[in-house]
Chains A and B, each alone.
Chain A
Amino acid sequence: MPESKFSVVPLIAILLPWTTLVAILVFPKRAQRLRLWLCSLGSLATFGVVLSMLPSVLDGNRYTINLASVVENLEIRLYVDTLGYYFALILSFLWMLATIYSISYIDHKHNRFFAFMALCESFILGCAFSANMFTYFIFYEMMTFGSYPLIIHEETTVARRAGYKYLVYAIAAGTVLFFAIVAHYFWGDGQLGFGKYGVLSLETASRAALMTVFFTYLAGFGVKAAIMPLHGWVPDAHPAAPSPASALLSGVILKAGAFGIIRVCFNVFGVDLMRELKVNVVMAIAACITIVVASVFALTQDNLKRRLAYSSIGQVSYIILGLAMLAHDGALGGVMHLTHHALMKGCLFLCAGVILVKTGKKNISEMAGVGYQLPITMICFSVCALAMMGTPPSVGFITKWLLGSGSLEAGLPVYIVILLVSALLNAAYFLPIVYTAFFRWEGDELDEHGERHHPKLVFGKEADHKLVIPVVVLAALVIIVGIWSNVPGFPYSLVSKVAKAIFP
């Protein structure tokens, strides 16, 4: 671990969401509005604290704090490096918007929802700031179980079934992951920490042993990162959960799995060892299959959130593909896509939520003319949909560009074909939604005078501000981040350092 200095700031960031619980417990039921605002203030403050670390992280400072050491090598330690900080920044930002959005979206059992939202944020920040696999696993498991009440929040039969499926997958994955960590600890000489270039080596363990560790990690995190065929819970959980929760599921919780894989690749195994073991081939194949097959599945879905969920499955595999290229640009694009996808998909799910609240429509086939009723939302939706296809200037384009360049760098142009097919499929399943929303409407026939009655665009009566503002902010960021990616705090400014360090 490079030189690092003691700081309580990461701990404060992790503990701040707990103030939400205090707010819920302290203030009486009568002060419901006050409680809800305090909840979002908690997430705002958390984002603020995370943001406050930006200058020092960019300067190359490393904050660390040891919470507990069970024995030597086995400690619960927080550690803020560029990669972890990068994840924490986007997740706390998205979480803040989702919390504000939830105030007006959630209509029953507010306390449970906000309490578990806050808990999950705390845990997942713990994941981002963990210094070793042991800590990561502890926070990861708590986050897994903490997100269950978010998924079944609606308490319908469908939601319950989705929650059940989620638990089954999560418990199985947790078990595999646990095995992976024990094996890692055993063969890695008790080194669970994240090294700059990886900690495992062929000197301490055999080839087969290291392969076992890698693939159990991949399988364990792959369930959350929805690598096919481990993705089963995703398409059920997303539509069942309330929209802000689906946005977070897709934008952050899936990424926690992907982030785990990033850590395993960069900081546990290291690029050289992966190249030596050739494990990246399997990763790449799995990712390519997932990207294409998930997009094909997405085509057939009529339920909007289900279609978005399948899209997420495909998109998260971009990250995996980028890692598997073992090339500078590939890694850069893959890791940056973590934020890019969180912005785009977060926005899309929140849009789906607005549509659901205002019109009650879940299925795409029913959405004719929605664009006239909810113009701002649907414009934002369209922006993100175009970004998903990789249209410049947007974040999606940056991802595609970097991944394409990475595949050339890795000498495997076949990946570009996959990316193009994916872009095509993305267009095929996103454009019909935009088309239905804006270019078809109820009673879309000629009247007796042979004229169409065009509905009017209605601005200003869209929905509650708390619903619309997060949507607009995210859509704006999709463009802004796509143009000025090197602004301090934006993905390129952070990830380029990581990539440069790993691929000098």
Chain B
Amino acid sequence: MGAWRHFPILMITVPLLGAVLLPFLGYLRESWVPHVALLPLGFSTVLGFLLLGRIPSDGYLSYHLGGWEPPHGIEIRVDYVGLFLMLAICGITLLALVFSRHYISKEVSRGRRTAYFVLFLLMSGAMLGFAATGDIFNLFVFMEILALSSYALVAITGNRNAVRAAFKYVLMGAPSSIMVLLAIGFLYSATGSLNMADLAQRIAESGYTEVLTVSYILFVIGFGVKAALFPLHMWLPDAHSIAPSPISALLSGLLVEVSAFALLRITFSVFPRGAADLIGGTADAVGVAAAAAVLYGGIMAILQKDLKMMIAYSTISHIGYIFLGLTAFTAEGLTGAVYHMLDHGLAKACLFLCAGNFIYVKGYRRIEELKGAWRQMPWTCFAFALASISVIGIPPTAGFISKWYLILGNVRGEKWLYACVLLIGSILAAVYCFRVIYYMFFQAGREGAWEDSWNDAPPSMLTPVWMLSLGTLFFGIFSYLVIPSLLKAAAFLL
């Protein structure tokens, strides 16, 4: 047993441990906190890259915590898809953390900055755990850490709107957590196990009962809220637009994706193939909701006047994409969904961070105020344009690759209507993205709105933005590095 087998658990616990230790440092030297906070996440990222190549695309790494064998012990299970997502989480959180250092000096008051970084690390660690756990109770625990830290982070600026948005988020989030807990309870009462692999086996042996049906539906609703699947999305626009921009980036770029991923795990790892009837019926409903989400999110995004609001509604639309990929039940659809989690994460995080740059430099939040922005902030504007192109799904960005597989998956599953919905969704995306690009590059702004010389955000904010937007380009051009393995992994899941 090589040391690398311990990497997944270290990836999860080191950021959590960092979160516990950081307050002490904050007490002594608050100014060091932003720098030191990078260490645990950087450590996890390095471990994640070291793990790459060690996990086969049609297998998984199972780690037993403390040496206790599952089903009684806690199991960490990392398969190829999970590792892929964990790396995305590490990368994006790290970049958002780098971005935060300057940014929060504008939005978060001095006394709360340590808290911000502590919560940030908690959230990152919880997301990593969420992606890797092999045990549904742990799934719940990580989900709660994630939820609580994100409630607090939305409200961290402390102004009225932020508190109201966070409260709205809690109002939706807390019942959804309870639903997931209830679902876990039902599952446990029916089978007597909490380990995913063990559950799958027991369900296959015992056959179906209504308890399982109820449990699955509760899972879908519970994670549906967390993933902001239409019509359970109400908390998202406010929370995402009012939170500090790096947090919006995490919420939009990762949190909703991770929740969708949890549902994917539940669907494919816990309920085995025999569950087709049960899952099939629910999946049809989810498919309809997802198609509605694509259209609703797109149309609402077009109607927004506030930039971050627009990006938030775009997220609702793209969550619909991911769910449409999942409900296609084909290898291509799943691959598209998982790849979309990555590229949407990169692109959306980039857009929110760009919005953050505008807020940081000029305090502008409205789309109209961006007219002529590129004269002063060309770097931010070009990154925004590149990420938008990925959001629309124009080649050669990663958005195109995932859209290709999503549509192909739906066609393979003979869901032609959904394939058309996906296409219409990208037209809507083109409308709302090109409007902003047009304003930024081709419109003259109000007199004095922008300076004539380059005066962009500081490098520590531009670097993450550019790395994210170049990431969308990289994963578009070099998608062949990942896609074949993902296809194999997806076939394995099915």
Interfacial residues, chain A to chain B (CB-CB below 8 A):
68-71, 137-138, 141-142, 145, 152, 155, 160, 163, 167, 171-172, 174-175, 178-179, 182-183, 185-186
Contacts and interface: CB of A to CB of B under 8 A. Distances in A.
B396 A70 contact: no
- The 5 lowest CB-CB distance pairs between A and B, nearest first, are A138-B395, A171-B430, A175-B423, A70-B480, A186-B411
Nearest to B412: A186
Contacts of A183: 411
A185 B442 CA distance: 37
B7 interface: no
20 contacts: A68-B477, A68-B480, A70-B401, A70-B479, A70-B483, A71-B487, A137-B395, A138-B396, A138-B400, A141-B395, A142-B394, A142-B396, A145-B389, A171-B427, A171-B430, A178-B403, A178-B404, A182-B404, A182-B411, A186-B412
B407 interface: yes
B426 interface: yes
A322 B442 CA distance: 40
Given A141-B395, A142-B395, A152 B427 contact: no
A53 to B, nearest CB: 24
A182 B407 contact: yes
Interface of B is mostly: helix
Contacts of B155: none
A346 to B, nearest CB: 27
A175 B401 contact: no
Interface of A is mostly: helix
B434 interface: yes
B478 interface: yes
A141 B392 CA distance: 12
B484 interface: yes
Given A71-B480, A182-B407, A172 B396 contact: no
B354 interface: no
Q: Classify chain B's interface size.
A: 20 to 34
B420 A152 contact: no
Contacts of A142: 394-396
A182 B396 contact: no
Given A70-B483, A138-B396, A141-B395, A175 B427 contact: yes
A328 to B, nearest CB: 36
Contacts of B477: 68
A172 B424 CA distance: 9
B487 A179 contact: no
B426 A182 contact: no
A141 B394 contact: yes
Contacts of B426: 175, 178
A188 to B, nearest CB: 12
Contacts of A71: 480, 483-484, 487
B383 interface: no
A172 B403 CA distance: 16
A138 B484 CA distance: 20
* Residue from A152, A163, A171 whose CB has the most chain B CB atoms within 10 Å: A171
Interface string B92-134: 0000000000000000000000000000000000000000000
Given A145-B394, A186-B411, 7 more contacts: A68-B477, A71-B483, A138-B400, A167-B430, A171-B427, A178-B403, A178-B426
B411 A69 contact: no
A69 B480 CA distance: 6
A182 B401 contact: no
Contacts of A163: 442
A179 B420 contact: yes
B478 A167 contact: no
A167 B434 contact: yes
Contacts of B480: 68-71
A352 to B, nearest CB: 25
B105 to A, nearest CB: 33
Nearest to B444: A155
A470 to B, nearest CB: 28
* Residue from B394, B400, B401 whose CB has the most chain A CB atoms within 10 Å: B394
B408 interface: yes
B419 interface: yes
Interface string B367-406: 0000000000000000000000100001110001101100
A302 B479 CA distance: 51
B392 to A, nearest CB: 8
A167 B431 CA distance: 10
Contacts of B419: 179, 182
B396 A179 contact: no
Contacts of A178: 403-404, 407, 423, 426
A316 B483 CA distance: 39
Interface string B420-453: 1001101100100010000000100000000000
Contacts of A175: 423-424, 426-427
A355 B321 CA distance: 52
* Residue from A163, A175, A185 whose CB has the most chain B CB atoms within 10 Å: A175
A181 to B, nearest CB: 8
A179 B423 contact: yes
Interface string B469-483: 000000001111001
Given A71-B484, A71-B487, A167-B434, A160 B395 contact: no
Contacts of A185: 408
B408 A186 contact: yes
B427 A172 contact: yes
Contacts of B430: 167, 171
A445 B404 CA distance: 67
A137 B484 CA distance: 21
Contacts of A155: 442
Contacts of B427: 171-172, 175
Nearest to B392: A171
A203 to B, nearest CB: 19
Nearest to B477: A68
A182 B408 contact: yes
A7 to B, nearest CB: 21
Nearest to A68: B480
Contacts of B412: 186
